[in-house]
């Protein structure tokens, strides 16, 4: 699956990356990585807006800036942190739960990563093709970020 699939109140995206799991993990847990890809093609994330307290109960916050200039603050709370294999975080206002799972792809050294992003309890306004396209766009931006030296 190269895009994202909407199933009722769930959104699931799978994508393979040439980078090893540790590098993909770092992109999800370091402010510079998050700022580089989180907005996908529809928004930017000012690096100084990203704050990560990487522990269960810790918060992960960032601002997204739309092309119009409108800014939206996003806030998540980590439920599970299992480096470099799984991140689970909730959006406390809506109850949206996101699980990011990373698995080594292939065998041997220098393998890539198979990534799954599974969002559950999507609020009604996110049960759209636009939300699915947005998640796919974020993973495309992640791929471009990971290709950088």
Q: For residue 47, give its domain range.
A: 4-147
Secondary structure letter of residue 105 according to DSSP:
E
Quick: pLDDT tens for 77-131.
Answer: 999 999 999 999 999 999 999 999 999 997 655 689 999 999 999 999 889 898 8
* pLDDT over 90 at 148, yes or no: no
pLDDT for the residue 54: 98
Query: How confident is the model over 13-39, as a mean pLDDT?
Result: 95
* DSSP symbol at 128: S
Number of domains in the chain: 1
Each residue's pLDDT tens digit, 30-50: 999 999 999 988 899 999 999
Question: What CATH number is associated with residue 122?
Answer: 3.30.530.20
Q: In what helix (H) or strand (E) does residue 37 lie, and over which residues does it extend?
A: helix 31-37
Among candidate residues 101, 133, 104, the one with its CA nearest the CA of residue 118: 101
Which residues face 4 on adjacent strands?
13
């Amino acid at each position: 699956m190269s895009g994202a699939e909407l199933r009722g109140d769930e959104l699931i995206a799978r994508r393979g990356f040439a980078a090893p799991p540790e590098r993909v993990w770092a992109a999800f847990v370091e402010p510079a990585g998050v700022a580089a890809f989180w907005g996908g093609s529809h928004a930017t994330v000012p690096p100084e807006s990203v704050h990560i307290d990487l522990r269960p109960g810790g918060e992960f916050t960032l601002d997204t800036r739309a092309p119009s200039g409108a800014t939206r603050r996003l806030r998540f709370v980590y439920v599970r942190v299992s480096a470099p294999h799984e991140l689970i975080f909730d959006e406390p206002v809506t109850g949206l739960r996101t699980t990011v799972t990373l698995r080594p792809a292939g065998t041997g050294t220098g393998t890539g990563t198979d990534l799954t992003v599974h969002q559950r309890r999507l609020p009604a306004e996110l049960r759209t093709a636009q939300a699915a396209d947005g998640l796919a766009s974020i993973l495309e931006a992640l791929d471009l970020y990971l290709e950088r030296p």
